[in-house]
C-alpha cells in the first residue's frame, strides 16, 4: 500500500495552491461579505480546468481522475469554502450525471460549455417537502408531443443563481413515489423558470443557494436523462459521488482553519511565552490534526475506489461524515485557540467555522450517512 501522492498529483496540488494563494485567498473575505464570487474568478477557475477536472478531454474536461478533483476542491476550500462548493456542485452534481447517464449527443451538446466553466451547472432535486426523502418530490412532468412539461418548485439549489444548466428531477405520478421519478437536462434560462430568491445564509455566503418556481417549463424530449423512471437511481448515484466533493470541501476548510490556528499559536504570547508552549493548546492542535488526517485518508480512499471502478458507497458516506464533523470541530477549536480574536472577522477562522457547518447538512445530513453505513453493515 502506497499512501503517497503520485508525481502528477503533487504537481497538480502545487499548481492549485499557487493559484489559490494569488487569486482566491486575497479576496476570500470579500466574497463572504459581498455574497458573491466575482465572475472573473469563476472564469479563471474554468481556464485552470477546475470545472471539469475528472471529465474526459473529448468533452472539454481536463482528463484527470477523481483524486485530482478531490485535491482541487480541497485546496480551493482552504481559502474559500464558497469557491470550493461552486466547483464541487458544478462538477459532481451536474457534469457527473450527464457524463454517466447521458447519450453521446447529450454529452457533446452540454458538457463542453460546462467543463470550460462558461456555463455553471446545478442539481435540482430538493423541494420544500422532499429533502432526504427524494422519492417524495412533487414537481411533475407530462409528455406533450416532442416535449416534456414541468411544474413545481425547487429549493436550496447550489449554483442556481447562475441560471446555467441543471439536472432536474420530476415525477410522472406522485403515487408511484421513487418509481415515477425521471431526470432531465434543463436550461435555466428557459421560459417558465423563475428565481424566487437567493437565500441569505450562515456560511458559504458567496455560493448561490436558490429557490426556483417551474411554471409549464417545456423541455425537448431529447433532454430526458437516462430512461423514464430512472431518475431516483440517477439521483442516488450522483449524490454518492457528490459526497466525495463535500468531504473534500470540508477537509479543505478544516486544513485552512488548522493552518491559521497553528500559526497564531506560535505568534501569540501570554505569560511571557508563545501559547503553543501551553499543554492545553498542544492538546487541541493534536486532536485537530488527527481528525484532519483521518478524514483525508478516508476521502482519498473513496476517490481511489471510484477511480478504480470499485464499490465506494460506504466510503463516500464515511468520508463525508468524518470530514464534515472534523471541519466543524477543527474550526471551532481554531476559534478557541484565537480566543477573542477568533470572533473577529479579520482573523478568518470565524468565517471558516460558519462555512464548515453546512458540510454536515447538504448531500444528506450526517444522520443520513449513518443510516447508509449501518444498512450496508447489516446487509
Domain boundaries, the chain: 7-115, 121-230, 233-378
Cβ atoms 137, 170 nearer than 8 A:
yes
- 270-278's contacts with Cβ under 8 Å and 24+ in sequence apart are 275/337
Catalytically annotated residue among 127, 255, 363, 367: 363
Query: Cell match 444548466: residue?
Result: 165
Task: Domain 121-230: give its CATH code.
Answer: 2.40.110.10
Q: What local confidence, expressed as pLDDT, does residue 362 receive?
A: 87
Q: What local confidence, expressed as pLDDT, does residue 223 receive?
A: 98
Rounded Cα–Cα distance for residues 255 and 296 (Å): 10
Longest dimension (CA), the chain: 79
Q: What local confidence, expressed as pLDDT, does residue 16 receive?
A: 98
- For the question of residue 363 being annotated catalytic, the response is yes
Cβ atoms 98, 106 nearer than 8 A:
yes
pLDDT digits (tens, 9 = 90+) for 105-134: 999 999 999 999 999 999 999 999 998 788
Cβ atoms 73, 90 nearer than 8 A:
no
Q: What local confidence, expressed as pLDDT, does residue 131 receive?
A: 84
Report residue 12 as a C-alpha cell.
Answer: 497538480
Query: Cell match 423541455: residue?
Result: 219
Answer left, alpha or beta for residue 44, where phi above 0 means left and psi between -120 and 50 means alpha.
alpha
Q: What local confidence, expressed as pLDDT, does residue 117 receive?
A: 96
Q: What local confidence, expressed as pLDDT, does residue 12 receive?
A: 98
Whether the predicted model's global pTM rises above the 0.85 cut: yes
* Segments of the chain scoring below 50 in pLDDT: none
Rounded Cα–Cα distance for residues 236 and 40 (Å): 33
367: exposed, middle or buried (C-beta count within 10 Å: 0-12, 13-18, 19+)?
Answer: exposed
For domain 7-115, the question of CATH label 3.50.30.30 is answered with no
Residues 6+ apart with CB under 8 A from 160: 122, 124, 154, 166, 188, 195, 198, 208, 209, 210, 211, 212
Q: What local confidence, expressed as pLDDT, does residue 156 receive?
A: 97
Task: Please report, for residues 14, 261, 275, 281, 283, the alpha-carbon distance to residue 336 in angstroms, rounded to integers and kept in the order given.
Answer: 30, 9, 12, 9, 12
Q: Which CATH architecture has domain 233-378?
A: Up-down Bundle (1.20)
Amino acid at each position: 500500500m502506497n499512501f503517497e501522492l503520485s508525481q502528477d498529483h503533487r504537481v497538480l496540488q502545487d499548481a492549485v495552491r499557487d493559484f489559490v494563494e494569488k487569486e482566491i485567498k486575497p479576496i476570500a473575505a470579500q466574497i463572504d461579505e459581498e455574497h458573491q464570487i466575482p465572475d472573473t474568478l469563476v472564469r479563471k477557475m474554468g481556464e485552470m480546468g477546475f470545472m471539469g477536472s475528472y471529465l474526459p478531454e473529448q468533452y472539454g474536461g481536463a482528463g484527470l481522475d477523481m483524486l485530482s478533483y478531490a485535491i482541487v476542491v480541497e485546496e480551493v476550500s482552504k481559502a474559500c469554502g464558497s469557491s470550493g462548493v461552486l466547483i464541487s456542485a458544478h462538477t459532481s452534481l451536474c457534469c457527473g450525471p450527464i457524463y454517466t447517464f447521458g447519450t453521446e449527443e447529450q454529452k457533446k451538446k452540454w458538457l463542453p460549455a460546462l467543463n470550460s466553466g462558461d456555463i455553471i451547472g446545478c442539481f435540482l432535486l430538493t423541494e420544500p417537502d422532499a429533502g432526504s426523502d427524494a422519492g417524495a418530490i412533487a414537481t411533475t412532468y407530462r409528455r406533450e408531443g416532442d416535449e416534456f412539461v414541468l411544474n413545481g418548485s425547487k429549493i436550496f439549489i447550489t449554483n442556481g443563481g447562475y441560471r446555467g444548466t441543471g439536472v432536474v428531477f420530476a415525477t410522472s405520478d406522485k403515487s408511484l413515489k421513487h418509481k415515477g421519478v425521471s431526470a432531465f437536462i434543463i436550461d435555466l434560462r428557459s421560459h417558465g423558470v423563475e428565481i424566487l430568491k437567493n437565500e441569505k445564509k450562515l456560511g458559504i455566503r458567496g455560493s448561490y443557494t436558490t429557490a426556483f418556481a417551474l411554471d409549464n417549463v417545456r423541455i425537448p424530449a431529447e433532454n430526458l436523462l437516462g430512461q423514464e423512471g430512472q431518475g431516483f437511481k440517477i439521483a442516488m448515484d450522483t449524490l454518492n459521488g457528490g459526497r466525495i466533493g463535500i468531504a473534500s470541501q470540508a477537509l479543505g476548510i478544516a486544513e485552512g482553519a488548522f493552518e491559521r490556528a497553528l500559526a497564531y499559536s506560535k505568534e501569540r504570547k501570554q505569560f511571557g511565552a508563545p501559547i503553543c508552549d501551553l499543554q492545553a493548546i498542544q492538546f487541541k492542535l493534536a486532536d485537530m490534526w488527527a481528525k484532519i488526517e483521518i478524514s483525508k485518508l478516508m476521502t482519498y480512499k473513496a476517490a481511489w475506489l471510484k477511480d478504480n471502478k470499485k464499490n465506494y458507497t460506504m466510503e463516500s458516506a464515511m468520508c463525508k461524515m468524518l470530514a464534515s464533523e472534523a471541519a466543524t470541530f477543527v474550526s471551532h477549536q481554531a476559534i478557541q485557540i484565537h480566543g477573542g480574536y477568533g470572533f473577529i472577522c479579520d482573523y478568518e477562522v470565524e468565517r471558516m467555522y460558519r462555512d464548515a457547518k453546512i458540510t454536515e447538512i447538504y448531500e444528506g445530513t450526517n444522520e443520513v450517512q449513518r443510516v447508509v453505513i449501518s444498512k450496508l453493515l447489516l446487509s
